Amino acid sequence: MKVDLHPRLGLLFNAYLLMFFIHKVQTGVGVVGLPRIVYLDSKHDAWISVFLAGVITGIVIWAMFIMLKQYDSADLYGIQVDIYGRWIGNFLNIVYMIYLSACFFTIFMNYIEIVQVWIFPNLPTWQLSLVLIALSVYAVQGGVRIVIGFAFLGVLGTLWLGAILIVPMKYADTTHLFPILNIDVKHLIKGIYGSSLSMMGFELLMFFYPFIKDKKSTLLYAQIGNLYTTILFTVVTLVSIMFFAEDSLARTIWPVLSMFKIVRLPNLERFEFIAVSFWMLIILPNMSAYLWAASKGFSRVIKMKQKHGIWIIGILGWALAFFVHTRSQMNTVTDYVAKMGFVLAFCYPVMLSAIVLMKKRFMRRKAANAQGS
Amino acid sequence: MLKVRKRIFFTVLILCVLFVPGCVEQKQLEKLGLVTAVGYDLEKKNVIRGTVVVHQFDPMAQNITKMITTTANTSRGLRQGQNLQSNQKLVTGQMRCVIYSKELAKKGVIQLVDALNRDSTVGNMVYLTVADGSAKEIMDIDKTNSKISLGTYLYNLIKQNVESEQILSPTLQEFNHNYYDIGKDPVLPVLKVQNRDVIIKGLALFKDDQYIAELGPKEHFYLKILSDKFNAGTHELGFKRSDFERIRLKKGEHSIRDVYSKLFIDIDSINSHAKLKLIDKKTLKFKVEVKLDSRLLESTEPLDYSNPSSIKFIEKKLNQAMEKDINGLMKYFQKLDVDPVGIGNEYKAHLRGKNLSKKEWREIYKRASFDVQVKNRIVKTGVID
């Protein structure tokens, strides 16, 4: 397998789209439950944990960029083979493929659970999953530019949902925030870990990198996207802490949707129905991005066409959905994926970039020595 | 060949996407009975009686509303029983008002509120109320007065009073917030039947989820000032006539007459701001600072408004009277062991490195003392001097 990937010029996309793409893949189903998950660990200082998690994400993105810069135009599949050799490298590639497919699976399964709880209690899972998978397969068939464009439209189409947060602010109680930093470091770090599932998605940068047209400005736009996500998540958490009473935030599974419950328009009694429906526009670009990255592995690792990979993952995901029935099962699956993601998206890329840097330096010295002697 | 196959394939795919969503549950308006109000009474031990007012969209029906009563152990059990008595499927998406009988409220209502929270079809802006007698009595109004729909009537009754700042907003959201907050207790309006109409009689004070006492309209004004940041309503204050001798106008007709033995002043606070502050953590001294911008609406004696010093005098008198009232109210809350103002939240905001439980707060609350300061500012005295 070639380490570097040189796609046709017509397949490349502009770096500024990365800004929307990174933000989009980070904001998915996770943010709906984020305030509660972090609150369980770091109590009313949850917003600090979320903010710090965003800062750490920024550092990881920076490490990824350093690693990618060492190569001309490589993705993670290529880099791993280059570093570890064919056997170990490809094994790790398959681990990543499984992880990306698992993310694809958890995104739509979590969304379907929300739809079933909030709008249609009798809706069979397979119907909605069929629609969602079909749509994302269709998008990914269009290629990388469609996936990126979909993310761009997804951001523009759902930007206004953030403005709705003004309404719950009317019921906010600022005393909930004080005293600031009342939690010990251990719980604060636990909270950071808790927010990592929602922050995930930026690791896709390592797969989309070869398709960026002006690779120099990658870091800038990726960081802008991450910054926006961090600010949005922190504000959402802040508002939730002020809006909910102490114990009720710990009990509310989807605090963001529960906050939308109080929004009331003259001819629309229940705003959360609109919010849940619009959430499909938020998760579909995520699903297609993960599906694209996972299926790319089929053409890079196993000598297969990417097109076939899309179908295999799509059908597999649809079939697997029949095995998950209850909320506790879904929780277990999500927990596993979150743990996997923490290792594969946060810890491992930093480690890998250190190895890549060392290797490059070693090679350079070797080359210099060879020249000198 | 391949291209044609591909095109057919994608057409099928898109058709799937278009038509599969049609398979979900359908809800036709004509086949639904919209529950607009629910009432709960305690029938006997372990059994509650539920009454619902249902809004129908049946063009053939004589009445647009219908009342159904059943008994069961849980609110969901009630719903099942009510469904058996209805030709339309009962749905709760348009529920506006929930009434708990006083007897039930005294025992605690959280198990019923929890069922509302759990149900995603119930909105968070549902009004919760307490009936002075039984909830059924209030719901029966719907039968005698078939022109109105009770759910809408109750909704407007409460909404109108919340908007004109007469009562604190009693939505499910606010009840939850105050119940689950450690340093705050909920309050709900008390409804009563009077002359075949439903009126708001007062305000029920809750300790956790249990009804403790009822507050009259006068104290209600102060509670509203203390717990709300925005505008509060109109308020009437009585004074000794001799206190105001200095600024009384001696001219004019009604200055000589004696309709009242006291002097009454009506003010309308257009802007109030209450600040709670913990001054001393050891002695648990709280400072309650209330700033009011108010309009003077009415006084039963002609007073001299043109002179700034006399306005100052009135302000001072108002301050003293209000401070006394607020102090009395705080003492009253302390005696009942309820905290509708949210003093516990303020205490908790200063508590570092420790978690406060509700029980601990109740103990601390008993020892707290308050220093009340009211600053009135009369900004307008009406169109005449």
Assign residue B297 the CATH number of its domain. 3.30.300.210
Residue A179 to residue B350, Cβ atoms within 8 A? yes
Do B206 and B124 share a structural domain?
yes
Tell me, what amino acid is at B90? L
Q: Flag whether A3 is in a domain.
A: no
Summarised one tens digit per residue, pLDDT across range A335-372 is 899 889 899 988 999 999 999 999 888 888 888 888 77
Q: Flag whether A339 is in a domain.
A: yes
Interface ipTM above 0.85: no
**β B369-380/B285-299 pair status:** parallel
**Which residue would you say has higher pLDDT here, B200 or A197?**
B200
Q: A292 near A21, Cβ under 8 Å?
A: no
Cα four-point dihedral sign B168, B169, B174, B176: positive
B268, two tokens: 């309308």
B344, two tokens: 């516990």
Listed residue (A349, A340, A307, A301) closest to A106, CA to CA:
A340
How buried is residue A10: exposed, middle or buried, by Cβ count under 10 Å (0-12/13-18/19+)?
exposed
Residue A39 has what pLDDT?
92
Listed residue (B340, B347, B348) closest to B368, CA to CA:
B347
Residues in chain B within 8 Å Cβ distance of A272: 120
State the nearest Cα–Cα gap between A265 and chain B, in angstroms: 12
Residues in chain B within 8 Å Cβ distance of A258: 124
CATH number, domain of A79, equals 1.20.1740.10
Q: pLDDT over 90 for what percent of chain A?
A: 42
Residue A269 to residue B93, Cβ atoms within 8 A? yes
From the list B17, B181, B349, the residue facing A179 with the nearest CB is: B349
Q: pLDDT over 70 for what percent of chain A?
A: 99
Q: Flag whether B324 is in a domain.
A: yes
pLDDT above 90: residue A21: yes
Do B62 and B205 share a structural domain?
yes
Q: Flag whether B175 is in a domain.
A: yes
Q: Flag whether B194 is in a domain.
A: yes
From the list A130, A175, A258, the residue facing B346 with the nearest CB is: A175
DSSP state letter for A43: G
Residue A106 has what pLDDT?
92
Q: B114 touching A, CB under 8 A?
A: no
Q: Measuring CA to CA, how many Å separate A337 from each of A101, A129, A150, B369?
A: 10, 19, 24, 53
Do B275 and B175 share a structural domain?
no
B43, two tokens: 């029938």
Residues in chain A within 8 Å Cβ distance of B182: 246-247
Do B265 and B363 share a structural domain?
yes
How many structural domains does chain B have?
A: 2
From the list B176, B346, B349, the residue facing A248 with the nearest CB is: B176
Do B229 and B206 share a structural domain?
no
Distance between CA B292 and CA B273 in Å, rounded? 6
Do B239 and B101 share a structural domain?
no
Do B273 and B362 share a structural domain?
yes
pLDDT above 90: residue B45: no
Cα torsion B344, B349, B351, B356 to 10°: value is: 50
Q: B9 touching A, CB under 8 A?
A: no
pLDDT band at A263 (very low <50, low <70, confident <90, very high): confident
Strands (E), B163-209: 187-194, 197-207
From the list A130, A171, A182, the residue facing B352 with the nearest CB is: A182
Do B240 and B141 share a structural domain?
no
Residue A17 has what pLDDT?
93
Q: Flag whether B24 is in a domain.
A: no
Residue B180 to residue A244, Cβ atoms within 8 A? yes
Q: B233 touching A, CB under 8 A?
A: no
Q: B66 near B54, Cβ under 8 Å?
A: yes
Interaxial angle between packed helices A125-141 and A306-320, expressed in degrees from 0 to 180 and rounded to the nearest 10: 170
Distance between CA B192 and CA B130 in Å, rounded? 9
How buried is residue A305: exposed, middle or buried, by Cβ count under 10 Å (0-12/13-18/19+)?
exposed
From the list B21, B173, B346, the residue facing A262 with the nearest CB is: B173
Q: Flag whether B79 is in a domain.
A: yes
Residue B61 has what pLDDT?
67
Q: B141 near B198, Cβ under 8 Å?
A: yes
Q: Measuring CA to CA, how many Å separate B307 from each of B285, B311, B313?
A: 38, 7, 10
First to last CA, chain A: 33
State the nearest Cα–Cα gap between B171 and chain A, in angstroms: 10
Do B178 and B66 share a structural domain?
yes
Do B235 and B124 share a structural domain?
no
How many structural domains does chain A have?
A: 1
Interface contacts A/B by beta carbons within 8 Å? 88
Interface test with A, best of B173, B339, B352, B354 (most A CBs within 10 A): B173
The region that residue B150 occupies, defined by phi over 0 for left and psi between -120 and 50 for alpha, beta otherwise, is alpha
Residues in chain A within 8 Å Cβ distance of B177: 171, 173, 243-245, 248
First to last CA, chain B: 94
Residues in chain A within 8 Å Cβ distance of B171: 262
Place of tokens 């302390």: B334
Residue of A nearest to B171 (CA): A262
Residue B177 to residue A248, Cβ atoms within 8 A? yes
Listed residue (B74, B73, B70) closest to B83, CA to CA:
B70
pLDDT above 90: residue A223: yes
Residues in chain B within 8 Å Cβ distance of A120: 24-25
For residue B106, the tally of other CB atoms under 10 A from its CB is: 15
A332, two tokens: 């277990």
Q: Flag whether A312 is in a domain.
A: yes
Residue A3 has what pLDDT?
78
Q: Measuring CA to CA, how many Å separate A105 from each of A34, A37, A117, B62, B272?
A: 19, 20, 18, 53, 53
Q: Give the structural domain span for B45.
A: 30-215
Distance between CA A12 and CA A62 in Å, rounded? 22
From the list A130, A245, A262, the residue facing B125 with the nearest CB is: A262
Q: A55 near A230, Cβ under 8 Å?
A: yes
Summarised one tens digit per residue, pLDDT across range B166-186 is 788 899 988 988 898 888 899
Q: Flag whether B16 is in a domain.
A: no
Q: Flag whether A1 is in a domain.
A: no
pLDDT above 90: residue A196: no
Distance between CA B59 and CA A161 in Å, rounded? 39
Q: Give the structural domain span for A312.
A: 9-372
Q: Flag whether B140 is in a domain.
A: yes
Interaxial angle between packed helices A218-243 and A185-199, expressed in degrees from 0 to 180 and rounded to the nearest 10: 120
Residues in chain B within 8 Å Cβ distance of A246: 180-182
Question: C-alpha angle with apex B273: B270 to B275, nearest 5 degrees?
Answer: 165
Q: Flag whether B318 is in a domain.
A: yes
Distance between CA B163 and CA B274 in Å, rounded? 19
Q: B255 near B338, Cβ under 8 Å?
A: no
Q: Flag whether A2 is in a domain.
A: no
Q: B203 near B381, Cβ under 8 Å?
A: no
pLDDT band at A261 (very low <50, low <70, confident <90, very high): confident
Rounded mean pLDDT, A319-328: 86
Residue B124 to residue A258, Cβ atoms within 8 A? yes
Do B207 and B230 share a structural domain?
no
Q: B74 touching A, CB under 8 A?
A: no
Q: Flag whether A4 is in a domain.
A: no
